[in-house]
Amino acid sequence: MGNPLVLASGIWGTSGLLLVRAAKSGAGAVTSKSCSLQPREGHKNPTIVLLDGYVLNAVGLSNPGAKTEVEELAEAKKGCLKEGVPVIASIFARSVEEFAQAAQIVMEAKPDAIELNMSCPNVGSEGRMFACVSEDAAKVVVAVKNVCSVPVFAKLTPNVTDIVEVAKAVEEAGADGIVAINTMPGMLIDAKARRPILSNREGGLSGAALKPIALRAVYSVSREVEIPIIGTGGVMSGLDAVEMLMAGASAVGVGSAISYRKNALGEIRDELFAFMKENGYSKISGLKLQE
């Protein structure tokens, strides 16, 4: 990677062209929108609430299915290769077996890595959060590693009693990296209408409000595992990215910031490097907390 910023899943990753756009805009790596074995419509509108301090979404993991997604990933791979930017294919599933099947299909596009989205909070009763149980998360990693020849990253949820326990389990199962964290469950109500605002009633909270939770998760996990972490959640500026790296991340996911800043990836990258130059840091690895 030319820089430590990773386009987070589900933001611009809905098409190959958007992934290439992210690569050209300043991302060091890009992650596709999570796809499943079969097509999924997702939830009815309204699905997203964008406010000053946070985003609440319940898109519902809408996607065309892995077989169609392969075409978009192949287009992304071709364009991103010219930019020297790796492509991470994100997948989710209803069972361990479906994770492996979806992984086999997207591997046809030759992505540089696979992200296992085991932790999306807004799929309702149809979905299952494998990342909430260490044993379940480990089984998913093992199944996908058995059919993939590229690095596999486990995307974890903060909505557990002990995220470190889950992180250790996926590391022992063979995960090559961890994405921490996914969104937190949340809800908004329209008091005058006496109804929840989102059609799904509840959704995933992201944006600036998520940063303290993400920093704490990355800090805790990084001290107990040896594999690298893509620290994701609430990164809206270069200084936020610095904090995430100091917490123990090896790379930094950027998602909701794209909804607030016209050229979020490029600006955050430049702000990060400007901070390093102004404060005498010559390498990303030098951004460590004082113990």
So which residues are the catalytic ones? 120
Q: Would you state the torsion angle of the CA atoms of residues 128, 18, 176, 36, taken in this order, to the nearest 10 degrees?
A: 30
CB neighbour class for 279 (10 Å; exposed up to 12, middle 13-18, buried from 19) = exposed
- Give φ, ψ of 56 to 5 degrees: -120, 120
- Give φ, ψ of 29 to 5 degrees: -155, 160
Q: Which two tokens stand for residue 21?
A: 């756009």
- Give φ, ψ of 111 to 5 degrees: -65, 165
Please provide the DSSP assignment of 155-171 as one string: EE-S-SS-HHHHHHHHH
Give the number of residues written for the chain: 291
Cα 230 from Cα 250, distance rounded (Å): 6
